C-alpha cells in the first residue's frame, strides 16, 4: 500500500491543490498584524522520502507571503498539508509511516524506514514526537477535547487516521488527518 501511494503522482498533486486553497485563504485574509496586502515570498524546500519527479516543481517551494506595507513586512506562512513544519520528510510520510510502523518488529520497521530513505533513529524520533511532543503542544491542548471519545495517545497516529474512517479510503483518511494537523506546519508552533 505504501509503495503504491508513494508512486501515485495524483495523490501528491491533490495535496498541492489543498495547499493552494489554504494559501489563497491566508492571502485573502491579508496581514494579520496590520491588514496590509500580502505578496508572494515562497521559500525553497527539498522534501525527502518520495521521488521528486513524481512530486513536481510545486514541492520545491513552500508557499509563503510577505506584508506589502513599509514598517510591517512581516511574513505569513499559511498552514500546509504537504509539509509538517520544518521536517525534511513530507507530512504524509510522517503520518503514514509512523502509523504503519506501530506493532512492527524491529526488522520490518527498519525495512519501512529504508523504503523512504530514513534511518531507524528517524522513525524512533517520530514515534516520540507522536507520544510526547504532540500532546504537549498548545495546538493539541486546544483540539483534544473536540476529539470525543479521546484518541489513544499511545496509538497515535493510527488512532487519528481511524477517527477519519468515515472519510473512506486510506488516501481520504490521510488527507483529512493532514488537514487536521496543518496548523502544526505554521512557523511558531513547535514540531520537534
- pLDDT score of 107: 85
pLDDT surpasses 50 at 169: yes
What does the mean pLDDT of the chain come to? 90
6: pLDDT strictly greater than 70: yes
Q: Of 88, 69, 80, nearest to 23 (Cα)?
A: 80
Scanning the chain, the segments in alpha helix (DSSP H) are 2-6, 9-28, 52-55, 91-101, 106-116, 120-128, 134-136, 138-143, 158-163, 170-181
CA dist., res. 33 & res. 73, Å (int): 10
DSSP 50: S
The number of distinct structural domains making up the chain is 1
Position 145 in a domain: yes
Q: Is residue 80 part of a domain?
A: yes
Phi, psi of 75 (to 5 degrees): -85, 140
- pTM for the model: 0.89
pLDDT tens, residue by residue, 140-156: 999 988 888 889 999 99
Portion of the chain with pLDDT greater than 70, in percent: 97
Give the structural domain span for 65: 2-185
Asked if residue 192 is part of any domain, the answer here is: no
Amino acid at each position: 500500500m505504501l509503495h503504491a501511494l508513494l508512486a501515485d503522482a495524483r495523490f501528491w498533486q491533490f495535496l498541492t491543490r489543498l495547499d493552494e486553497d489554504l494559501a489563497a485563504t491566508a492571502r485573502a485574509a491579508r496581514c494579520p498584524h496590520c491588514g496590509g496586502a500580502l505578496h508572494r515570498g515562497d521559500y525553497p524546500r527539498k522534501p525527502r522520502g518520495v521521488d521528486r519527479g513524481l512530486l513536481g516543481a510545486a514541492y520545491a517551494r513552500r508557499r509563503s507571503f510577505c506584508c506589502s506595507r513599509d514598517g510591517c513586512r512581516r511574513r505569513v506562512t499559511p498552514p500546509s498539508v504537504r509539509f509538517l513544519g520544518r521536517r525534511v520528510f513530507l507530512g504524509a510520510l510522517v503520518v503514514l509511516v509512523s502509523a504503519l510502523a506501530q506493532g512492527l518488529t524491529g526488522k520490518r520497521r527498519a525495512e519501512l524506514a529504508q523504503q523512504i530513505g530514513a534511518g531507524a533513529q528517524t522513525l524512533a524520533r517520530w514515534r516520540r514526537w507522536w507520544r510526547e511532543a504532540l500532546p504537549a503542544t498548545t495546538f493539541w491542548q486546544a483540539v483534544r477535547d473536540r476529539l470525543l471519545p479521546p484518541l489513544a495517545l499511545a496509538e497515535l497516529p493510527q488512532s487519528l487516521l481511524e477517527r477519519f474512517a468515515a472519510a473512506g479510503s486510506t488516501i481520504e483518511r490521510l488527507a483529512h488527518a493532514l488537514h487536521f494537523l496543518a496548523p502544526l506546519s505554521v512557523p511558531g508552533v513547535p514540531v520537534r
